[in-house]
Chains A and B, each alone.
Chain A
Amino acid sequence: MTDLAVDVLIGAGLLALAWQTIIGKSLFRGIVLFVVFGLTMALAWARMGAPDLALAEAAIGAGVTGALMLVAFRRLVRIRPEQSAQPALRRSRLALPVAVLAGSLVAVIGLAVVAVERDPAVAGQAVAQALTDSGLGNPITGVLLLYRNLDTLLEVAVLLAAFLAARTVFGEDEARSPTPSRREVPLVGALLAIIVPLTILIATHLLLAGSREPGGAFQAGAVLAASGVLLVLAGRLQPAAGLSSWPALGLTLGLMLFSLIGLAVMAFGAPLLALPGLWAVYLIETAMMLSIAMTLVLLFAGASGLRRGSP
């Protein structure tokens, strides 16, 4: 009974927040509501017993996207002040048909899922058994790297492709730096001194613990990226033009190492991307974490390189 009440409250809250976010009277209100929506979404993942997703939502939703939208809004105010004051949404005649279609699609899929009979004897148990043998206690990391390894490889490639696509529009206007130079605020230095080392510790913990409990390369990479975003926002890292060798290595490390190991195993007669052992899993996860973090920070900074900035 109380379970149901909690779930209904979170579900209704999510719907109300989503509605308010898109019909928002102003862009800024929409952004605040979107941040709040992300927090509530993490609660929903927690209730659904998916702490891995809640971790990713905490790092991406609370850390990166909220800041990204605020910075984008700030830039919009600077280059098109009249547009930033307009309401976020214009009414369209297509809205109702699209909403009805989307709603019925969700209803059909939901009904189909409910109607399907659960048969736990097949794939799930076989996978769980195989994962126990492989030494990976966290089924999500196991499935991502042992069964969906091609998908995971392509996800890393997609991130790189996103960065390359975004790179074509970097540096279009002179106001691209997210932090105009300004005086250092007293408490920010102390905050950075505590939070940044801690994020590195937590990211490493999530990466190493990811083989047994919730965590993994994506979560760890997102946490590292959040600390990078913090440094960019505080002006300690400044966007720089031109791709230098270290960021380029960081960007491609995950893809390169994953592909190299995945191809190398074929020389020993194993199928493509069959990982030879736990050491390979840890190596690839570390490389992926660095690549994910580097890509996200560079995307946030809107530049192909970073340099140290004075505070």
Chain B
Amino acid sequence: MIELLLPALVIFLLLNLAAGMVRVARGPTAADRMLSALLFGSTTVAILLILAQWMNEPALRNVALLFVMLAAIVSLAFFGMPRDDADDGEQR
């Protein structure tokens, strides 16, 4: 039962990510696009942890640990971006 729940949850989270991609396409500001990168970061960590349990591969927990440790780097790099550009302003 639990062996079925784990992959089902992985699939569910992957579909979640696919839905989150809409925000990258739609924008409208650069900050909105960064938010989808955040969503990907936190969801990928959960998926890796579930995979570690499901595939019985404890090393994947270390991968997840690295991800959460380094997640802030991209935000910090983004923060230095100029304020009034990087916004292509298009709406779809």
Q: Which A residues fall within an 8 A CB radius of B? A: 2-3, 5-6, 9-10, 13, 20, 25-26, 28-29, 32-33, 35-36, 39-40, 42-43, 46-47, 49, 51, 54-55, 58-59, 62-64, 66-67, 70-71, 73-74, 77-78, 81, 84-85, 178-180, 182, 185, 188, 191, 195, 198-199, 202, 206, 213-215, 223, 226, 229-230, 233-234
CB atoms of A47 and B51 under 8 A apart: yes
Task: Find out whether the CB atom of A77 lies under 8 angstroms from the CB atom of B71.
Answer: no
Q: How long is the Cα–Cα vector from A308 to B41 in the complex, in angstroms?
A: 30
Residue in A closest to B70 when the chains form the complex, CB atoms? A63
Query: Are B30 and A178 touching (Cβ within 8 A)?
Result: no
Q: Contact flags (1/0) for B47-63 with A, using CB distance below 8 Å?
A: 11001000101011011
Given that A36-B24, A51-B63, A85-B88 are known contacts, is A226 also in contact with B81, CB under 8 Å in the complex?
no
| Closest-CB distance, A166 to chain B (whole angstroms) | 19
B76 within 8 Å of A by Cβ? yes
User: Is the CB–CB distance between A33 and B73 below 8 Å?
Assistant: no
Whether A33 touches B24, Cβ cut-off 8 Å, given contacts A55-B62, A59-B66, A179-B80, is yes
Residues of chain A within 8 A of B70, CB atoms compared:
58-59, 62-63, 226, 230
A47 to B71 Cα, complex, angstroms: 21
Name the one of B7, B44, B73, B86 contacting A226, with C-beta atoms under 8 angstroms: B73
Which residues, 3 to 24 on B, are CB-close (under 8 Å) to A? Answer: 4, 7-8, 10-11, 14-15, 17-18, 21, 24
Contact B82 A54 (CB under 8 A): no
Q: Which residues of A contact B71 (CB under 8 A)?
A: 62
25 of the cross-chain contacts (CB-CB < 8 Å) are A9-B11, A9-B14, A13-B17, A28-B86, A29-B25, A36-B40, A39-B67, A40-B17, A40-B40, A43-B44, A46-B55, A47-B55, A51-B63, A58-B63, A58-B66, A58-B67, A62-B74, A66-B73, A66-B74, A81-B85, A85-B88, A213-B59, A226-B73, A229-B73, A230-B72
> Does the CB pair A77–B62 fall under 8 Å?
no
Number of A-B contacts (CB under 8 A): 166
Question: Which among B27, B34, B36, B76 has the highest number of chain A CB atoms within 10 Å?
Answer: B76
**A residues near B21, Cβ cutoff 8 Å:** 20, 36
Contact A49 B57 (CB under 8 A): yes
Contact B55 A49 (CB under 8 A): yes
In the complex the two chains form, is B66's CB within 8 Å of A223's CB?
yes
* Nearest chain B CB to A311 CB, angstrom units: 13
Q: Which of B8, B11, B17, B74 neighbours the largest number of chain A CB atoms within 10 Å of its CB?
A: B74
In whole angstroms, how far apart are the Cα atoms of A185 and B72 in the complex? Answer: 13
Q: Is the CB of B82 within 8 A of A77?
A: yes
A42 adjacent to B63 (CB under 8 Å)? yes
